[in-house]
Amino acid sequence: MPVASDAEPAAAALDWRRHCRLIGPAACRIPLSDAVLTALLAVVVLADLTLVHTWGPHPAYAANALIALVVTVAQPFRHRAPVVSGVVVYLAMVAYVALLRTTPVNLGLSPVIVAVPTALHALTRWAADRRWGVAGLLAALAGAVVNPQTVYAVNPHTAHMFNYPPVGFALACVLVVTAVYLWAFSRRAAAESVDRTVAAAAELAAAQAVSAERLSIARELHDLVGHGLTVVKVQADTGLALGTPEAARDSLTAVRDASAAALASTRELVALLRGSAGQGAARDTLTPMADLTGLPDLVAQARAAGVEVEAALPTAAELASWNESWTALQRLTLIRVVAEGLTNAARHGTGSARLSVAMRDGRCAVRITNPRSGVESTTAPGAGYGEEHGYGLAGMAERLRLVGGRLEAGPSDDGGACFLLDAVFPVSFSSDLTRTPASSTPGSPIIQDS
């Protein structure tokens, strides 16, 4: 026999309205099974009342009809209040057994005894506390042994009417009661298992959503703050190394401008996060962050940081056209890729870089190359690009995956003298973003990052 668990059952598993076919007015709908059972037992009550009508108001006939009526009245509440309904049925059965023990006439075997296994099923399947099911099983097993046939056999008024032992009937009652309990218990366990699975899936989805949101925030913070701080560091190093008042002034000016730009971008990100509850607000806030006309400013910032950038950018008219036709996510991806590539070149390169941004066959291609420092003294791929393990290229690859693009980053083929960054992604309206090309799996970039 299954053992009841102390664990709190899932609420949805005990919501009989979700599992049963209901009938009746909206205010008091009940399961179809309860309505059918009530109607059948009402027929039994009418049959018992005919005995009273035929043989007169004998106490035994009247008590028999009253017990059947009490059991019938309890049936509509079998699901609504399984504990109350079950207790009423069991007490009525106790009264029925007492009546059979003392009746001077043979009342036969009343069909109301079918209410015992149905009450047991309701207690086991729908009662909030599983212990009610166990208590109902024990009471039903006791009633299966002390059944009407057994009681008739020990009643001196009716004992002579039976010439066979009631063991067979008692065994049948035990089997029926046990089978009903096991069936109801298994149905309840299956429903609770489904609810636990659904709840676990919901928790996992929520955790994944939180993780994705944290990853997105981390990526944006790295791109916004990391680039500005890189410019600040490079300019501070330059000012300290030169030591002249003019160099210090130029460095401080570049530090001021880079800090102001990073602060403004960070404020835009915070505003975006605060307004993300409404898609319209998030889209409006994202627009200035994804303005492609700011690409020349990124090049200017890199040059201010001391990097000689040879840039091949689209014209201002082309960038304005891209602003109108690209999605905000695609525009932001291009801006972040260019900013990250130039920042890495400023920190890990030798002071120069080449940048090209072009459109080919509906795809935007970004290529950034810069000489690698310390190549002659290293043998490992990617050496000379700093010993720190950063997250810039990983974040860039994630961005490109979101728009169906790919990233290739690592030493160039000409002996590894330069670091090459190639990023390609399709540009289209937002409806096309759901189609991720097969080539969108990024390569394994060598980490070159701040």
DSSP assigned state of 390: -
Residue 380, SS3 per DSSP: coil
For 66, list phi and psi in degrees, rounded to 5.
Answer: -65, -40
Concatenate the DSSP letters of all residues of 295-312 into one string: HHHHHHHHHHTT-EEEEE
Report the pLDDT value the prediction gives residue 327, as an integer from 0 to 100.
Answer: 83
Distance, in Å, from the CA atom of 446 to the CA atom of 345, rounded to the nearest integer, reads: 14
Confidence of residue 243 (pLDDT cuts 50, 70, 90): low
pTM of the model: 0.52
d(CA 143, CA 122): 17
Segment 200-234, tens digit of pLDDT: 888 888 777 766 766 666 666 666 666 666 667 66
- List beta partners, residue 355: 311, 368
The Cα 277–Cα 286 span in angstroms is 13
- Domains of the chain, each with CATH number or no CATH: 12-201 (no CATH), 293-298+307-450 (3.30.565.10)
Looking at residue 155, the DSSP 8-state letter turns out to be -
pLDDT digits (tens, 9 = 90+) for 66-105: 999 999 999 999 999 999 999 999 999 999 999 988 888 8
User: Could you give the C-alpha distances from 235 to 269, 338, 351, in angstroms and in order?
Assistant: 25, 20, 13
Helix H or strand E segment including 406: strand 406-411
Residue 311: other Cβ atoms inside 10 A? 19
User: How do residues 138-161 score in pLDDT, each as one tens digit?
Assistant: 999 999 988 888 888 788 777 666
Estimate the crossing angle of helix 131-145 against helix 82-102, to 10 degrees. 10
State yes or no: pLDDT of 368 exceeds 90: yes
CA atoms within 13 A on the CB side of 113: 19
Return the CA Rg of the chain.
41
Q: What is the pLDDT of residue 6?
A: 41
Cβ 230 vs Cβ 346: under 8 Å: yes
For the segment 187-208, what is each residue's pLDDT rounded down to a tens digit?
Answer: 999 999 888 888 888 888 877 7
Cβ atoms within 10 A of the Cβ of 334, count? 24
Q: What is the mean pLDDT of the chain?
A: 78
For the record, the structure tokens of 178 come out as 């046990």
Give the model confidence (pLDDT) of 419-434 as tens digits. Answer: 899 999 998 754 444 3
Greater pLDDT, 267 or 153 = 153
CA dist., res. 103 & res. 178, Å (int): 30
The pair of three-digit structure tokens given for residue 322, joined into one six-digit string: 């891209």
* Backbone dihedral angles phi then psi of residue 367, each to the nearest 5 degrees: -130, 130
Reading phi first (left if > 0) and then psi (alpha if -120 to 50, else beta), residue 103 is in beta
Tokens at 179, concatenated: 């089978």
Sheet holding 406-411, edge to edge: 308-312, 352-360, 363-371, 418-426, 406-411
Segment (H or E) for 22: strand 22-23
Find, among 4, 3, 20, 11, the residue nearest to 198 by Cα. Answer: 11
- Residue 208: per-residue pLDDT: 76
Q: Write the burial class of residue 196 (CB in 10 Å: 0-12 exposed, 13-18 middle, 19+ buried).
A: middle
The residue type found at 210 is V
Please give the average per-residue pLDDT across 369-386, as a whole number: 53
Angle CA(163)–CA(167)–CA(168) in degrees, nearest 5? 95
Mean pLDDT calculated for residue range 44-53 = 88
